[in-house]
Amino acid sequence: MLRAYRSVDHVVVRLLAAEPLYALFTETFGLPVAWPLQRTDFATYGWVHVGNTDLELWASHSNSDLPAHALPPLIHGFALEPALSLAESLARVEEAGIACKPPRAFQTQNAQGETIVNFTNSVLLDVSASSCCIFFCEWSPRSTIYPWPEAATPVQRRAQHRQDLENRNGGPLGITGLRDIRMATPDMYLHQRLWCALSGSQPSQSIAFVQDISLDLVPREHLRVESLTLGVRSLRVARAFLAGHQLLQTDTGDLLTVACKDLSIHLRAASFPQV
């Protein structure tokens, strides 16, 4: 099957409070703001850019949708950018025998009072659970959703943020992008088969998810995203910065763990050797 998605549009991180992690990423780590922090009657949220995707930091006013074994802080899942149109991507997925929820459109009004679709989501049911939501997210080029310009597409927005991060040399940690998603599953055989079908990869515990991101499956009792690993330009520089700010949780020599609000976020050297 041809790959039904182009990229990881964004990763959803559920939190009890969004402000501390948002400040850590944007102020301490110097990551570009992809969506300024907003406070609404249903959630407080903001987005930060990490080079090849965004992190959506989401503190809901209610976590009743989450099971007792997966309460915030939690890497709740991620959105896939459809390869072509959402309808075509869903057709490809359904051909592979993977069930999806009917698409749900989220709308607002523009300055002229017209109702405009901002984005449309569809959950991939067979690779999701209440503790782990994987979904397609198709943004409308006419989206009026704050704070993005109506004419900007997701590809254009991401390119602007990526250039901003490059201009900052990846911030003080030298971040280059998301490199690995580690996902726990109670059924290795099923999810290896489904993710290989989705990604067009050969059966393996580590799946070539997109060109620069791998998906590692590990056997556990519940389906959930266990950790994210970001690439950095220099482990030596990242190690010194984290240690100097009392943010280095563990150090195996080739993998650093950030002390990050009980979330498992790691750093490793990018495509060049550790220095």
- The domain segmentation of the chain, as residue ranges, is 5-167, 175-269
- List pLDDT tens digits, range 38-81: 999 999 999 999 999 999 999 999 999 999 999 999 999 999 99
Fold of 175-269: 2,3-Dihydroxybiphenyl 1,2-Dioxygenase; domain 1 (3.10.180)
5-167 and 175-269, same CATH topology: yes
Nearest to 127 by CA among 139, 119, 118, 136: 136
Distance, CA of 214 to CA of 206 (rounded, Å): 6
Strand order across the 5-14 sheet = 33-39, 43-49, 54-60, 5-14, 74-82, 133-139, 115-123, 104-109
Q: Residues 246-263: what's their mean pLDDT?
A: 95
Q: Tell me the CA distances in angstroms from 229 to 37, 65, 168, 192, one per residue in order.
A: 24, 26, 20, 20
- CATH 3.10.180.10 is right for the domain spanning 5-167: yes
DSSP secondary-structure letter at 212?
T
- List pLDDT tens digits, range 122-164: 999 999 999 999 999 999 877 777 677 666 777 788 899 999 9
Q: What is the pTM of this model?
A: 0.94
DSSP 162-211: HHHHHHTTTTTTTEEEEEEEEEEES-HHHHHHHHHHHHTPPS-SEEEEET
Beta-bridged to residue 109, according to DSSP, are 115
Distance, CA of 139 to CA of 210 (rounded, Å): 19
pLDDT at 60: 97
Q: Is 23 helix (H, G, I), strand (E, B) or coil?
A: helix
Contact 198, 5 (CB under 8 A): yes
